[in-house]
Amino acid sequence: MATLRPSLALARPQYCSYGVVLTAGLLGWLAPAWASWVLGPALLLGLVLLGVAHGACDHYVVPATHPALARHPGRYWTVFLAGYLGLAAAVGSLWWWRPGLALVFFLGLSAWHWGSGDAPPARHRAQWLGHSLLRGSLLFAVPLWFWPVETRTLLNDLAALVGAAPVSPATLDAAADWLGPLVLAGHLGLWLSYWLTRQLRLAYTDMQEVLLLSFLLLALPPLLSASVYFVFWHSLRHVLRMSEVMGQPFSGNWVGLRAQVGFFLRRSAPLLAISVVALAGLYGLAWARAASGPTLIGLALLAASVVTLPHALLVTLGLDAGRWRQG
């Protein structure tokens, strides 16, 4: 068997995420005035090819994880579309009916989905659950603590768009005061549990990722750091995971990494095209009404929120079904 050249060696696909996050963090730390200009084009492209695309293969989850439920294609597609669109409509209705509650629900669901998406295959279900909750909480705790004004502005721009009451500084200060220590104590407990169950490599990897993500969240303002994380960490990892589920295994090198992403994009192309056209139409209407930057960002978050629930349920109950059955 031919040996991979060192320049192509890639022991684990997450190293790609590590490299991008570290580079973005260093850029924000060393040249903050240039960060948005340099990262902007890459993020715009990544939001389409990874961010929007990473949910465009959701219809493959059930056939891959519960094939008996997809035995009859016509029936499966009817149930899938009704369920997916019904859940999306329910979230949209919640934004219209109780926008403040919808905002809290969206933030909490995003924290869970991001955290569980990052979670490694730990030996025990409690460890997987702990990691999922702590990683998602970390992604909100650091910006709340270090970027309180920027975080509040981002949340209140979205609240203003949907007609919800603004979030007060006191509320966010209180959230930061209890969430930060809780996340820190929780991680210490999680790492101790890994050590006690002789999962030392898992403990080391999680420590490394927590430090790396914390650096990103400290170095860049919330909108930029969340975008970098969402595109090049969460979405990329989901793309690679789904590619393996759909039959394109990771071959351990950069060529294999590109093959997996290309395979996923080909499979996701139909729904990705529909999503891009729909988003373009939405933004066209907003642009015609001279929408401001905060409005455009808020519209993107609203569009993401309505599909987060069905997407997260498919991941949690489908891809992660085996983790719920662990002891």
Looking at this protein, which amino acid is placed at residue 67? Answer: P
Beta partners for residue 253, in sequence order: 9
> Looking at residue 248, what is its pLDDT?
85
> Looking at residue 255, what is its pLDDT?
76
133 and 116 in contact (C-beta within 8 Å)? no
> Looking at residue 1, what is its pLDDT?
33
Distance of CA 10 to the CA centre of its chain: 23
> Looking at residue 2, what is its pLDDT?
36
For 256, phi then psi, to 5°, come to -65, -35
Looking at this protein, which amino acid is placed at residue 87? Answer: L
298 and 157 in contact (C-beta within 8 Å)? yes
Provide the residue-wise pLDDT of the chain in tens; the chain has 327 residues.
Answer: 333 333 333 446 678 899 999 999 999 999 999 999 999 999 999 998 999 999 999 999 999 989 999 999 999 999 999 999 999 999 999 999 999 999 999 999 999 999 999 888 888 999 999 999 999 999 999 999 999 999 999 999 999 989 999 999 999 999 999 999 999 999 999 999 999 999 999 999 999 999 999 999 999 999 999 999 999 999 999 999 999 889 888 766 777 788 889 999 999 999 889 888 888 877 776 665 556 677 778 888 998 999 999 999 999 999 998 888 876
> Looking at residue 287, what is its pLDDT?
60
Beta partners for residue 9, in sequence order: 253
65 and 319 in contact (C-beta within 8 Å)? yes
Please state the length of the chain. Answer: 327
Looking at this protein, which amino acid is placed at residue 214? Answer: S
> Looking at residue 10, what is its pLDDT?
41
Cα 321 from Cα 107, distance rounded (Å): 23
The residue written with tokens 């975008």 in the block is 227
